[in-house]
């Protein structure tokens, strides 16, 4: 099946990912994998955004 193999989705330049109701990734296209900095689809499947992306930088106060 083409959709299952991400053939069509991998040729779309936009970031496409799909998650379950618990916000856990079930899949993603190549553009999203590259954006998230992961190499293989299995590196994102089963994880949340918090597990994949680094935590936000804290604001540094300069005096």
Q: Please write the tens of the pLDDT for every residue from 4-62.
A: 567 888 888 899 999 999 999 999 999 999 999 999 989 999 999 889 876 666 666 67
Range of the domain at 28: 9-52
φ/ψ of 11, rounded to 5, equals -100, 5
Number of domains in the chain: 1
Which H helix or E strand runs over 32? helix 30-36
Residue 61 lies inside a defined structural domain of this protein: no
Is 20 inside any structural domain?
yes
Cβ-contact 31, 14 below 8 angstroms: yes
The Cβ of residue 29 has, within 10 Å, a number of other Cβ atoms equal to: 22
Residue 3 pLDDT > 60? no
Instruction: Quote the pLDDT of residue 4.
Output: 58
**Which H or E run contains 11?**
none
């Amino acid at each position: 099946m083409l959709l299952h193999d991400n053939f069509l989705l991998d040729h779309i330049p936009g970031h496409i990912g799909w998650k379950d109701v618990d916000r856990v990734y079930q899949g993603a296209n190549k553009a999203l994998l590259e954006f998230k900095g992961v190499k293989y689809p299995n590196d994102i499947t089963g994880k949340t955004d918090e597990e994949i992306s680094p935590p936000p930088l804290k604001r540094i106060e300069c005096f």
